[in-house]
Amino acid sequence: MNFGDNILIICTYQELMKQYRKILKEHHLNIDIEVMDNRYGKDMSKIFEYVAQFQKKGKEVIITRGFLAQQIGAHLPFKVIEIHIGAADMFRALYPLAGKGYTVGVVESEPYVKVAKQVAEILNISLNIYLVENVEDFEKGLLAAKRDGVDVVVGGAWHSYEEVFFQDYGIPYVVVESSVESIENSLQNALEMYTFSYEQQKKNELLEKILSFSEDGICVLDESGHPVLMNTYGEQILKEKEENQIEDFFAEIQRQMLSERDGHSDTLVEKIGDEYFLIQKIPLEVYGDSAGTIVIFKREMKIRDDEYLLRMKLSKKGMHAKYTLQDILGKSKIIRELKKRVERYATTDATVLILGESGTGKELFAQAIHNCSLRRNRPFVAINCSALPPQLLESELFGYVDGAFTGAKKEGKAGLFEMAHTGTLFLDEIGEMDLSMQTRLLRVLQEREIMRIGDNKVISVDVRVIVATNRDLYQEVLRGGEGGPLLSLKYFGYYDSAFAGT
């Protein structure tokens, strides 16, 4: 749409039309112009009927003068730009009357009256005001002016009536005409309105595009909980529900969120049809006041897929296993047997304990198991348990929430179990882990759930765990040492120098 396509200029007299055409030509603008003159007089119903037809022709903005502009704006669905009467326009009309002792009557609407008062005060002219709020007030004002002995009437309605109409009242009428400046100002206002409208329309279309391409269902509810906007995918999710059921559905979601254990929640898992969705609620505020709610539906499978892609990206930043079975060199009987075990253990998700002296390549075998398994394209996360004190190791493994301890990040932190989700977590030197941590680790392996430090929410994890140590756990347990919980894990190797065999 080009500037001017949706604009109509309604001129109330021929000279105004000529002025507009001249200015439009100078500025290379193309805007339709209609001249009203006095064809309908004071019959506002016919005037409205005449103007209304232009809405079907794509006109949205009307530029016109004074009382007509106000009436169209009040009764018809157009954006109206009034050709304002400026002080210079009023000065040209009143200046010839100054110093003659005239009593001047102003029979017009509020904008005219306001400017007339300012100019009359400068010119020291006495004014009688007859305010026009509807079409009948104009004749009443003329009658009152005649009765009050007014010498001359000033206003903008001269061209809307036959000349004989004013002659009947026997009062001279001075018309206030629009100047070039007022006309150019009206066009500038129209340009600003067009620009604003265009930018708003562009933003709305962009928003609609964004919503339509979103793979989440998005619905906007007003303050009463009634859906006012929904994207295509949101409509697909709720397509089986009748219109009256949709509002009840959102009300039930709100009720369930309020009944959560902690008193409120902004998320909920709900089965809709044959699928599970994570439903999120976001309060919508405008200038600090509540304006409704945004509800987002995320498919469970989509969340899993996104999580997988994210972890794949993370794997490119070092969270991957670079060694494979082919990187294990050597032809000894022990090495051949260990390679067979790698292939056998890779077919399961069982947790494996690798025993071997330092320098015998325990992580090499752990990576080989990962790369032979179905998790080969998922994250491989490794940590040396002996390198961290127990409390720091706990936060690294399980993560923490805001305020869990002094120095904790405000946004919290995901632990290595979460980062290794759907992949493999390798815990080296696990023999250095204290007994309480070993016990907690075994519980995670059994339940496949973790809890961040400082939190009360359980997070499900799908992680294959491989642990390694250079300590002889059997002998240590026999001597009364720690390490007992680890002996419940499936063995990969034995504590001797055979790992170094070639």
Structural domain range at position 447: 318-500
Query: Binning pLDDT at 50, 70 and 90, where does residue 410 land?
Result: confident
* Alpha carbon 474 to its chain's center: 60
Decide: 32 and 9 in contact? Cβ < 8 Å: yes
Q: Is residue 197 part of a domain?
A: no
Query: What span, in angstroms and rounded, lies between the C-alpha atoms of 485 and 442?
Result: 7
- The CATH number of the domain holding residue 418 is 3.40.50.300
Asked whether residue 99 is domain-assigned, the answer is yes
Does residue 165 sit in the same domain as residue 230? Answer: no
Q: Is residue 322 part of a domain?
A: yes
Please check whether residues 188 and 164 belong to one and the same domain: no
pLDDT at 491 over 50: no
141 within domain boundaries: yes
Task: Assess whether 170 and 187 both reside in one domain.
Answer: no
pLDDT of res. 475: 64
**Residues 365 and 468 grouped into a single domain:** yes
Asked whether residue 501 carries a pLDDT value surpassing 50, the answer given is no
Residue whose entry in the numeric block shows the structure tokens 């987002």: 296
Residue 1 belongs to some domain of the structure: no
**Judgement on whether residues 71 and 116 belong to the same structural domain of the protein:** no
Burial class (CB in 10 A: 0-12, 13-18, 19+), 176: buried
**381 and 487 in one domain?**
yes
Domain boundary among 162, 192, 222: 192
pLDDT one-digit tens code per residue, 261-271: 454 567 888 88
- Tens digits of per-residue pLDDT, 28-59? 889 999 988 777 777 888 989 999 999 999 89
pLDDT for 496 beyond 70: no
pTM: 0.48
Share of the chain above pLDDT 90, in %: 22
Q: 187 and 137 in one domain?
A: no
Instruction: Work out the number of other CB atoms within 10 angstroms of the CB of residue 277.
Output: 22
Instruction: Please check whether residues 424 and 495 belong to one and the same domain.
Output: yes
Q: What is the b/e burial string over 301-311, where b = at least 16 CB atoms within 10 angstroms of the residue's CB?
A: eeeeeeebeeb
Q: Is the pLDDT of residue 303 over 80?
A: no
DSSP code of 179? P
Q: Any residues with CB less than 8 A from the CB of 242 and at least 6 apart, and which?
A: none
First vs last C-alpha separation in the chain: 79
The pLDDT value recorded for residue 78 is 92
Report how far residue 412's alpha carbon sits from residue 388's, in angstroms, rounded to the nearest whole number: 19
**Range 187-194 average pLDDT:** 87
Residue 313 lies in a domain: no
pLDDT(488) > 80? no
Task: Tell me: do 94 and 240 sit in the same domain.
Answer: no
Looking at the structure, tell me whether residues 144 and 270 fall in a common domain: no
Note the pLDDT tens digit of each residue in 194-245. Answer: 888 778 878 878 877 777 778 888 888 888 888 888 888 888 888 877 777 8
pLDDT band at 20 (very low <50, low <70, confident <90, very high): very high
CATH code for the domain in which residue 250 is found: 3.30.450.20
Q: CATH code at 61?
A: 3.40.50.2300
pLDDT at 163 > cutoff 90: no
Alpha helices per DSSP H over 124-179: 136-147, 163-167
What percentage of the chain carries pLDDT values higher than 70? Answer: 88
pLDDT at 341 over 50: yes
For the stretch 81-138, pLDDT in tens is: 998 888 999 999 999 999 999 999 999 888 889 999 999 999 999 999 999 888 888 8
Residue 498 has a pLDDT of 41
Domain with residue 103: its CATH number is: 3.40.50.10660
Number of domains composing the chain: 4
Please, what is the average pLDDT of the chain? 82
Q: How large is the average pLDDT for residues 131-149? A: 88
Q: Which two tokens mark 285?
A: 């505020």
